[in-house]
Amino acid sequence: MKIGVFDSGLGGLVITKAFIEKLPEYNYFYYGDSAHLPYGDKTSGQILSYSLAAMRYMISKGCKIIIIACNTATAISLRYIQQRFIPQYAPDVKVLGVVIPTVESALQNNVKKVGIVATSATVRSHIYLQELKKIKTDVDVVEIATPELVPAIENNKFNLAEEFVKEYSQSLKNVDSLILGCTHYPLIKDYFRKHLPDVHVVSQDELIAEKLQNYLQRHNEIESFLGRNSLREFKVSSFNKHSQKVAANLFDDIVITKA
């Protein structure tokens, strides 16, 4: 069986690449729901509906464990999927999100102020604010919705993305840590580090792979079912003309096909 990675588009390929580099022996199935991109401007009901459809599809493709790389889907859908959907639909499958490991990383070194850049829906959910406060009640949190970044990245307009990053950075110069709360944003993490040189930028591609490795070591009931043929399959629900070019920035030999 496979390790599945779900995202609203191509951003989750960054996480998948990190998984493959850390754990190359396993079989992977990637699904990007680019037909409904971006999730960040959708209603909670729409996001839940899209996420449930993706879970059904990925389970049908043999995914034993699914990582919801999309922060927006994690914020809106993960709890429902874990508590209501999976126990009834596929109780032997595990579904994990990306928020908790990211929060833990952002709070290292006794930080006092954390910034968050994310989609409008993720910011609206306040999931990062809530999880940060659970661990450190007195932490100061700055949340900024950055809706322009995902379309710029998906359309391969990285110069435009940097202009937006430069603009947003003006409001983030006083934070100790900055959470890039969208799986697309590791593709532009260097822009944030360039414009915020004194801030600890938390990029999910740099921490999630180790968290997955630790999880599999602790859960043999999942790990023992995973195939180890280094097979990789990459699917999207819809193509745009830049899909292959954006993907090629990460994987030299990637082939993306339509689901």
Active site residues: 70, 182
* Residue 51 contacts residue 73 (beta carbons within 8 Å): yes
Encode the chain in three state secondary structure.
Answer: CEEEEEECCCCCHHHHHHHHHHCCCCCEEEEECHHHCCHHHCCHHHHHHHHHHHHHHHHHCCEEEEEECCHHHHHHHHHHHHHHHHHHHCCCCEEECCHHHHHHHHCCCCCCEEEEEECHHHHHHCHHHHHHHHHCCCCEEEEEECCCHHHHHHCCCHHHHHHHHHHHHCCCCCCCEEEEECCCHHHHHHHHHHHCCCCEEECHHHCHHHHHHHHHHHCHHHHCCCCCCCCEEEEECCCCCCHHHHHHCCCCCCCEEEC
Query: In this structure, is the dihedral angle defined by the CA atoms of residues 136, 138, 139 and 145, taken in order, positive or negative?
Result: positive
